[in-house]
A and B are shown apart, each in its own frame.
Chain A
Amino acid sequence: MSEHTGMVEKRGAGLWLTHLGLIIGVAFIFFPIWLAFVASTVTNAEIIRPPMPLWPGDQFVENYTRALTAGINAPVALMMWNSLVMAMGIALGKIAISLLSAFAIVYFKFPGRQLFFWLIFLTLMLPVEVRIVPTYEVIANFGMLNSYQGLILPLIASATATFLFRQFFMTVPDELAEAARVDGAGPMRFFFDILLPMSRTNIAALFVILFIYGWNQYLWPLLITTDPDMNTIVMGIKQMFPSGDDFAHWPTIMATSILAMVPPVIVVVGMQKLFIRGLVESEK
C-alpha cells in the first residue's frame, strides 16, 4: 500500500506514534490523581519536606482509617454518607417528579399545560449559582439550613429531566397507549406497567448523570451546611485546610480527595455505556 493511503490506517511507526500521543494524554490526565494517591499513602513529614516521593508509601491503612473515622472537622465516612444522601436524593427525587410531570404534559390535555411547559422550559436556563442569595434566604426561612432537604430540594428545582422524559415519551408510539386502553389499562396503570419499564435505560442513564451532578455539588453545600456533621465530602475537603500559616495535614486531605472521587468514578466507569448515552441525550 502506498504511503498516502497508509495515512488512513496508521501502521508501523505511525501507529506507535499514535499510541505514544495517547499515552502522554492519559499520563497528563492521571498524574494529578496519581500524586494525590501517593500523598495519601505517606506521612505528612514526607510531604512537607519537598520533593515528596512519587511512589506510594506504607501509610495507606493509617491515613485512610484516620480520614474515615476522625477526619479533621468531621469523620470523612460521615461526609461521604451526607454526599450519598444528597446525590441519591437529587437523582431519585428529580427523576421521580420529572417522570410524573412529563407523563402529565405528554399524555393529558389539561388547562395550563402550555404555560406549565414553558415555565419548565425557563428553568432550564438558570443554574443555582445565579440565584444563590435569595434561594439561601428561602432555605433559611424554612429552617432547612444544615438539613438534607435544604441540600436537595433547590437542586431538584430544574426541569432538564422533565424535558428529557418529555422528548422520550414523544417517541413512544401512540398505538402502545391505545393498545393499553383497549386492554383496559387506565392512565396510571399504563404509566407503571408500560411507560416506566420502557423508560428503564433512559432512567438509568439519567441517574448516572444526576448522581455525579449531586455528588459533585460544591457551592450550595458550602453555603447551607455550617455544621461540620452535615458537610458533604466534596465541600468538606476545602474545610480541612487550616486558616493562617499552619501546615495542612496533606495525607488526610489527599485520602479524602481520593475518597471523594471513588464513588462517581465507579459509577462512570462501571456504567460507561449508560453514562455516555445519558450525556449525549441530555445534551441533545
Chain B
Amino acid sequence: MATLTLNNVKKSFGKTDVIHGVSIDVEDGEFIVIVGPSGCGKSTLLRMVAGLETISDGEVQIGGRRVNEEEPMARDIAMVFQNYALYPHMSVFDNMAYGLKIAKVDKAEIAERVAQAAKLLQLEPYLNRKPRELSGGQRQRVAMGRAIVRKPAVFLFDEPLSNLDAKLRVQMRLEIRALQRELGVTALYVTHDQVEAMTMADRMIVMNGGVADQIGKPLEVYANPATEFVAGFIGSPPTNFIDGALLGRNGTTRMGVRPEHMRVSDSGKLKARVTYCEALGAETLVHLACADGTLVTVRQDAAAAFPEEGAEVSLDWDISHEMNFDLSGQRV
C-alpha cells in the first residue's frame, strides 16, 4: 500500500506526442479512475505506470520512490488486463501462484495466499480448472486473484469489465470496489465507460486527446466540468450544448445545460420542436430539435406531462445551471 505520484508524465512515439503531461498525487488507498474515449491515451498512461511502456518524460513515483527505470515486477504493482491474460495451459491455482513462484516465495506461503484469495473471490471450487473451463465472470475473478496474491502497493486495472455482459458488469463493478476497500490498496482503473467512472472512483481523471482535462471527485466533475469535452462525456444523456448565437448572445461561446436542468414550458429562452419522447418509467426523456438543427434532450419526472411529438414548445432553465465554454472548449 502506497501513494502514487505522476509528475508531468509524457509519452511520445517518435515525433507524435500521445500524452501531453499528466500530473496527479494519489493518496494511499485511493481509487482513481482514468476515463475517456478510445484513443485518448488512458491505457498508455496506465501501462507507463505498470512499466509496460517507457516514460518519455516526467516521473512516476510509487511509495515516494522513482520507478521510471524499474521493471514491472520491481514496481510492486499488479495488473488486471482487459482480456484477463490468463495463462491458458495453467490451472487457476498455477495462474495465481505463478508470480509468487518466480519471486521464490515459500511453497506453503504460496498455498496459503492463493487459498485466501480464492476464498475472498469464491474461486475455491475451481482451483484445479483451466481458464477455458470457466465462465467470463470467473475468469475475471481469477485475474483479480492473480493481482491480489501479490499483495502489491498498487492495483492497475485496464478495462477489466469490458468483456462481460451488462448485468455481470454491474455486479463485478461492486465487487471490485468492495474488494479494493477491504484490502485498502491504492488502485488505478482505466475505463471508457463513464458510468463505471462515476460509480467506482474516489477521484477520476478525464482524459481527452492525451490531456487530463479534469481531475476530481465524480460529483464535482459532474457538477462543475472544466471543459466542454468533460461536460459532454460525463453524464448520460449528455449535456445539451447551444450556440451563443442561437440565444442572441456572443457567438464565440457555447452554453451547456444538463438535461435534468432543462424543462419544457410555454414560455422560455429557446423555441424547439418535439421529435419524440422516451418514457422510461421513472423518468421521461423528451428529445427536441432547435431552429438551427441542434438536438436537445430534456429529462423530466415521469409524473410530469409530456408534450406531443411535433409540438412547438419553449425550453427554459435557471441561469445558475448554465455552463459557458469558449471556442477552445474551456470553461469561462
Number of residues of chain B lying within 8 A (CB) of chain A: 23
Interface: B204 (CB within 8 A) = no
Given contacts A181-B52, A181-B71, A193-B98, contact A176 B103 (CB under 8 A): no
Task: Name the segment of B81-89, B247-255, B258-266 touching the other chain.
Answer: B81-89
Instruction: Note all chain A residues with C-beta closer than 8 A to B88.
Output: 198
A185 vs B71: C-alpha distance in the bound complex, in angstroms? Answer: 10
Q: Closest B-chain residue to A181, C-beta based?
A: B72
Cβ of B50 < 8 Å from any Cβ of A?
yes
Interface assignment of A173: CB less than 8 Å from any CB of chain B: yes
With most chain B CB atoms within 10 A of its CB, the pick from A178, A182, A194, A197 is: A182
**How far apart sit A16 and B87, CA to CA, in the bound complex (Å)?**
50
- Contact string against B for A residues 178-196, beta-carbon threshold 8 Å, 1 for contact and 0 otherwise: 1111111100010001100
Q: Which residue of the partner chain A has the closest CB to B156?
A: A182
Asked if A182 meets B82 with Cβ closer than 8 Å, knowing A176-B87, A197-B89, the reply is no
Contacts known (A178-B52, A178-B85); A185 close to B102, Cβ less than 8 A? yes
B89 touches A184 (CB 8 A): no
A254 to B50, CA, bound (A): 66
Given contacts A189-B102, A193-B98, contact A182 B79 (CB under 8 A): yes
Mostly, the A contact residues are: helix
B83 and A184 contacting across the interface, CB-CB below 8 Å: no
A182 near B72 with CB under 8 A, answer yes
Interface size on A, residues (CB 8 A): 17
- Write out the residue numbers on chain B whose beta carbons fall within 8 Å of the beta carbon of A246: none
> B99 to A184, Cβ gap below 8 A?
yes
Residues of the A chain whose Cβ atoms lie less than 8 Å from the Cβ of B102: 183-185, 189
Complex alpha-carbon distance, A29 and B50, angstroms: 61
Known: A179-B81, A181-B71, A184-B99. 15 other contacts (CB 8 A): A175-B83, A175-B85, A176-B87, A178-B79, A181-B51, A182-B50, A182-B51, A182-B77, A183-B98, A184-B71, A184-B72, A185-B98, A189-B102, A193-B98, A197-B89
Q: What are 7 inter-chain pairs, A to B, with CB distance below 8 A?
A: A173-B83, A178-B52, A178-B72, A179-B86, A185-B102, A198-B87, A200-B89
Q: Which residues of B contact A (CB under 8 A)?
A: 50-52, 71-73, 77-79, 81-89, 98-99, 102-103, 146
